[in-house]
Structure 1
Amino acid sequence: MTRIEALGVVIREARTRLNISQEKLAESAKLHRNGLGRIERSEVALNLNTLWLIADAMGMSASELVQKAETLAGDNTAGAV
Structure 2
Amino acid sequence: MTWFVNMQDSFLSGWGEARNGRALYCIRCTSYSQALQIAARARTRSEMKRVAVSSRPRRLRPGDQRTIRDVSDLGEVWTG
On whether the aligned pair clears a TM of 0.5, the verdict is no
TM-score (norm 1): 0.30
TM-score (norm 2): 0.30
- Which of the two has greater helix per residue? 1
